[in-house]
Every structure is written in C-alpha cells, then in structure tokens.
A = this chain, B = another copy of it.
C-alpha cells in the first residue's frame, strides 16, 4: 500500500509532542515494544511496516496483529523510514490512543504504595522508574506538570512495557497531587539529598506515596512543604547524589520489602 502525502504528514507529525496532544495519539516503534503492548492487551489503532525490513520475530508479530484484527499496512521501506525516529525500530510502528486513568478512581482502589515523579526531565529515567514501579508494585504512577511525557519514545523503551500496563496519571499540578494524596490518607515520603538519613522504614505500615524529584533541580517546593517525611539515602561522603531512577528504585525496593526484614 502506498500512503498519500497527507497521510505521511499526519503520521510524522506525531513525532512532535504538540500533535500527539492535539490528535490524542502516539507512535510506538519496534518489534519488542509492540510485542509488550500485545501482552498487555493494549492494541494499536493502526500499524505500518515494511515487510522487507522485518526480521523473523517481526514477521511473527505481524501475523499476531493480523490475527487480532489490527489494521496493518505494508508501506515499504522508504516510507517507513520517514515515519520512524530510531534506526533500531526494525521497520514497524504502531499508532496508539493513550489509555486514560482517573486519579481519584485509582486512589480509591485500595492501593497502598504509589510513585510520584516530579520534574523528571530525562525520559530514560522516567521509563526506568516506571519499570521499577511495576516490579515493586507501586501503582499508579503520577507525574507532575514539568515531568517529561510517558509516551515519549525513550520513556517507553526504558519502561520495557510498563508504560502499557501500569496505570498512570500525567502532568498534574503538584498542589492537586498533594491535596488528593492527603485526602486519601497517603503519607508523603520525599527523597531528597538534604533529608534525614533513612532509618527505620519498617514503621511505614500505612499508605505511602514516594516522591522522586529531578537530580538537577530537586523537587517542587509544594512537595517539600507538604512532605510527611524527607529522607536521604545513606551514601559515601564524596558522592553527591544518585541518579534519580536509582534513588527511586532503591527506595521502592526497600519499602516493598520492609515486611521481609527481621523485626
């Protein structure tokens, strides 16, 4: 099938954040990520590929998508290269409508641990934090206004599919996040290098919202002013800080396992 010029334009426009928002669609590239989406029962609106560029695994994926009745089009090598943004995307790209989650509904579902990503501007870090949140049962993930998009291609890749099945609520003002978390009885645990050394997290038996801010800029004032606990991860003196994704992972690991620690 040959795409018309206007169809190509529409697709390539989705590489830009502005158009992702206005169209309420996003692109997701590569065999592995599209496989992950399938596993999470998250189906694309359409898929474009180039048969000539696909490896064997990609061909299996195309079969699976066809079985699942996804509209899928072989548009040839030249055209697919205009649509994709990375060389490693193996000649296949899907167009998805973002899943929408409601904050109050998520907080109402009995969740006891969740993650807030505040001012995280590195998409790799955000994706890694989502992957770790999925691993340690922190759900939903809430991001603040200034955090990078979850449907950024790099975020999706680093999340290893967690972006497809972990509920998230994006781009919320810090004031609203604080208000809702307090309303639903969450303790706010803010990670910050100026905080107190972590001591006894076993005492965290209640509902906890872990807040991870940007390494470079720290967290929003709103979270600093409203945190119930500000904690620092103990580390060597000559090291200034951990990568934000590392700090978040270490703390989620600890919080998730405190019941396993000897009492």
- By a beta-carbon cutoff of 8 Å, the part of chain A in contact with chain B is 124, 128, 131-132, 134-137, 158, 160, 162, 165, 198-200, 202, 233-236, 238-239, 242-243, 245-246, 249-250, 253-254, 256-257, 260-263
Contacts and interface: CB of A to CB of B under 8 A. Distances in A.
A132 B262 contact: no
Contacts of A253: 233, 250, 253-254
Contacts of A134: 236, 238-239
A257 B238 contact: no
19 contacts: A124-B124, A128-B246, A132-B243, A132-B246, A134-B238, A137-B236, A198-B257, A199-B260, A202-B261, A234-B257, A235-B256, A246-B246, A246-B249, A249-B249, A250-B253, A253-B254, A254-B254, A261-B261, A262-B263
A158 B72 CA distance: 39
Nearest to A234: B257
Contacts of A160: 243
Given A246-B249, A249-B249, A250-B253, A239 B135 contact: yes
Nearest to A201: B261
A132 to B, nearest CB: 6
A260 B234 contact: yes
Nearest to A139: B236
A262 B242 CA distance: 24
B246 A202 contact: no
A155 to B, nearest CB: 14
